[in-house]
């Protein structure tokens, strides 16, 4: 395989990103010293609600006011059942999407330091005959002794494909020029996707976890759509890296270390989240080919106001690097290939990809109405990847960005209804509606 990553440059970049995020605006990170809303509580009211949170107004309050219903609180428990909203999106690659999303959150256990456990699910269909379902969970047992996180996903999809790399000018052989596709011509790949992933973390010291697990990713009956007799990036990559046929499997063992001080898993006002992992796809597990993948996920949340902690500067750095072997084309790191499928807003899934990929994002979150019912966000992202024509990671960057509105859906577990419109280069843009922040 050409273009193996420089481990030294990756580590230097990661260290620089973490140092910057840890030291940025330290004085502005100070927030109320009251107990975090995902941990213990105060006497005389539900532990999920702080004094300043009592002034907030969410959709359940609106329902109560409109229909004159009384809120039913269960003291001592955070979360109020399951939040359900339509799953609506519109992009050129998937067409018009309609479906349903659900999010639930609750503290499991009596230890006041226990983190909020969350689960989410979605089912959708698009006008381009894309059908997708997933069920995700992130569960903390009492006192955070164990953390279980995983996802089950299945889909019938026409996957948009815009080539390998970051959209830079290609050089060399005709095949490599077709692979990198600097003009970002749209291709389609049709098939079925199945994913089963589960990781179990053990807390070894406060906020620090070690984890291990398995990930099974199955791709079946994938073929080009509308490109009969035409050389495509998918065909070139498969020939160069020894993949044949239409069926691929990436079955891998996972090893992770995680550190988190976020005050909420749905929408953090303060804290840090860091996860570094190694995935090893092995033939003896059923993988089509051997491959090793290094990933890291770093997030920093800075509250800019004591009085209104919803004023937040959020920073996210996510990267993935093939450090040995070969990954199937559809499993290469790239846009929206992070675990939450939210990176690189403004571009469709897999728009940029390579054996080395990095996404850096910054978002400013701010309340609009005094009761915090309506909030806003503005965000920017920069993606970079390598290609097989000489472009190295961190050499070429592609920007994206946009803005959105937030409607407070459930103030007890900080669930937001999110409406985002994002732009990228090459005519990429789209509207998305969902629950919870991108990161």
Distance CA(140)–CA(145), nearest Å, equals 7
Q: Pick the more confident residue, 68 or 129.
A: 129
Is the pLDDT assigned to residue 107 strictly greater than 70? yes
Question: pLDDT at position 70, please?
Answer: 57
Is the pLDDT assigned to residue 15 strictly greater than 70? no
Is the pLDDT assigned to residue 168 strictly greater than 80? no
CATH number at residue 13: 2.40.160.50
The answer as to whether 255 is a domain residue is yes
Are 433 and 335 a contacting pair, CB within 8 Å?
no
Q: Could you tell me the sign of the dihedral formed by the alpha carbons of 59, 299, 198, 335, in that order? A: positive
Segment among 177-191, 268-282, 298-312, 340-354 with least mean pLDDT: 177-191
The answer as to whether 1 is a domain residue is no
Return the HEC string of the chain. CCCCCCHHHHHHHHHHHHHHHHHCCHHHHCCCCCCCCCCCCCCCCCCCCCCHHHHCCCHHHHHHHHHCCCCCCCCCCCCCCEEEEECCEEECCCEEEEEEEEEEEEECCCCCCCCEEEEEEEEEEECCCCEEEEEEEEEECHHHCEEEEEEEEEEEEEEEECCCECCCCCCCCHHHHHHHCCCCCCEEEEEEEEEEEEEEEEEEECCEEEEEEEEEEEEEEEEEECCCCCCCHHHHHHHHHCCCCCCEEEEEEEEEEEEECCCCCCCCCCEEEEEEEEEEECHHHCCCCCEEEEEEEEEEEEECCCCCCCCEEEEEEEEEEEEEECCCHHHCCECCCCCCCCCCCCCCCCCCECCEEEEEEEEEEEECCCCCCEEEEEEEEEEEECCCCCCCCCCCCEEEEEEEEEEEEECCCCEEEEEEEEEECCCCEEEEEEECCCC
User: Which residues face 260 on adjacent strands?
Assistant: 273
The answer as to whether 20 is a domain residue is yes
Is the pLDDT assigned to residue 430 strictly greater than 80? yes
Is the pLDDT assigned to residue 102 strictly greater than 80? yes
Whole-number percent of the chain with pLDDT over 70: 80
Question: pLDDT at position 374, please?
Answer: 93
Question: pLDDT at position 91, please?
Answer: 65
Segment among 73-77, 81-85, 230-234, 383-387 with least mean pLDDT: 73-77
Question: pLDDT at position 161, please?
Answer: 87
Q: What average pLDDT does the chain have?
A: 81
Give the range of the structural domain holding residue 288, as residue numbers without chain letter. Answer: 7-435
Question: pLDDT at position 172, please?
Answer: 61
Is the pLDDT assigned to residue 108 strictly greater than 50? yes
In angstroms, what CA-CA distances link 384 with 2, 32, 219, 354, 387? 17, 37, 26, 9, 10
Question: pLDDT at position 157, please?
Answer: 78
Q: Which of 418, 410, 412, 421 is nearest to 434 (CA)?
A: 418
The answer as to whether 359 is a domain residue is yes
Is the pLDDT assigned to residue 275 strictly greater than 70? yes
pLDDT band at 50 (very low <50, low <70, confident <90, very high): low
pLDDT band at 101 (very low <50, low <70, confident <90, very high): confident
Is the pLDDT assigned to residue 295 strictly greater than 90? yes
Number of residues that this document lists for the chain:
439
Segment among 39-48, 192-201, 229-238, 315-324 with least mean pLDDT: 39-48
The mean per-residue pLDDT over the stretch 47-60 comes to: 62
Q: Pick the more confident residue, 430 or 218.
A: 218
Segment among 17-26, 254-263, 410-419 with least mean pLDDT: 17-26
Question: pLDDT at position 100, please?
Answer: 85
Question: pLDDT at position 173, please?
Answer: 63
Question: pLDDT at position 71, please?
Answer: 52
The answer as to whether 99 is a domain residue is yes
The answer as to whether 351 is a domain residue is yes
Q: Which of 339, 437, 431, 354 is nearest to 391 (CA)?
A: 354
Question: pLDDT at position 40, please?
Answer: 34
pLDDT band at 60 (very low <50, low <70, confident <90, very high): confident
76: left (phi over 0), alpha (psi -120 to 50) or beta: left
How many domains does the chain fold into? 1
pLDDT band at 45 (very low <50, low <70, confident <90, very high): very low
The mean per-residue pLDDT over the stretch 19-41 comes to: 35
Question: pLDDT at position 54, please?
Answer: 56
The answer as to whether 356 is a domain residue is yes
Question: pLDDT at position 4, please?
Answer: 43
Question: pLDDT at position 340, please?
Answer: 80
The answer as to whether 2 is a domain residue is no
Q: Which of 380, 317, 383 is nearest to 354 (CA)?
A: 383
């Amino acid at each position: 395989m050409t273009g193996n990553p420089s481990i030294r440059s990756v580590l230097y970049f990661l260290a620089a990103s973490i140092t910057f995020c840890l030291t940025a605006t330290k004085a502005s990170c100070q927030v109320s010293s009251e107990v975090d809303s995902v941990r213990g509580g105060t006497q005389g009211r539900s532990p999920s609600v702080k004094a300043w949170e009592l002034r907030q107004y969410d959709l359940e309050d609106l329902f109560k006011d409109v229909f004159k219903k009384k809120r039913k609180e269960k003291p001592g428990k955070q979360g109020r059942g399951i939040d359900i909203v339509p799953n609506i999106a519109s992009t050129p690659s998937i067409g018009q999407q309609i479906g349903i999303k659900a999010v639930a959150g609750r503290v499991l256990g009596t230890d006041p330091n226990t983190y909020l456990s969350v689960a989410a699910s979605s089912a959708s269909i698009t006008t381009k005959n894309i059908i997708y379902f997933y069920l995700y969970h992130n569960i903390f047992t009492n006192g955070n002794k164990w953390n279980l996180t995983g996802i089950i996903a299945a889909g019938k999809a026409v996957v948009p494909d815009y080539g390998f790399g970051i959209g830079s000018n290609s050089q060399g052989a005709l095949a490599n020029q077709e692979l990198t596709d600097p003009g970002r011509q749209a291709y389609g790949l049709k098939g079925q996707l199945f994913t089963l992933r589960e990781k179990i973390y053990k807390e070894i010291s406060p906020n620090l976890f070690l984890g291990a697990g398995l990930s099974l990713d199955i791709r079946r009956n994938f073929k080009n759509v509308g490109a009969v007799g035409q050389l495509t990036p998918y065909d070139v990559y498969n020939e160069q890296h020894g993949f044949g046929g239409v069926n691929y499997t990436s079955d891998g063992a996972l090893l992770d270390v995680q550190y988190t001080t976020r005050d909420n898993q749905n929408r953090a006002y303060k804290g840090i989240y860091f996860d570094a992992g190694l995935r090893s796809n092995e033939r003896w597990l059923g993988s089509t080919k051997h491959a090793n993948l290094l990933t890291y996920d770093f997030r920093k949340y800075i509250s800019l106001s004591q009085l209104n902690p919803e004023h937040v500067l959020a920073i996210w750095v996510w990267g993935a690097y093939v450090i040995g072997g070969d990954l199937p084309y559809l499993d290469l790191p790239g846009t929206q290939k992070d675990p939450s499928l939210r990176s690189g807003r403004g571009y469709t899934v897999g728009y940029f990809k390579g054996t080395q990929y990095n996404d850096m994002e910054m978002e400013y979150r701010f309340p609009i109405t005094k009761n915090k019912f309506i909030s806003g966000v503005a965000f920017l992202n920069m993606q970079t990847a390598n290609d097989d024509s000489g472009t190295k990671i961190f050499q070429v960057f592609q920007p994206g960005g946009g803005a959105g509105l937030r409607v407070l859906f459930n103030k007890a577990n900080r669930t937001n209804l999110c409406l985002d419109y994002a732009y990228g280069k090459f005519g990429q843009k789209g509207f998305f509606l969902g629950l919870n922040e991108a990161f």
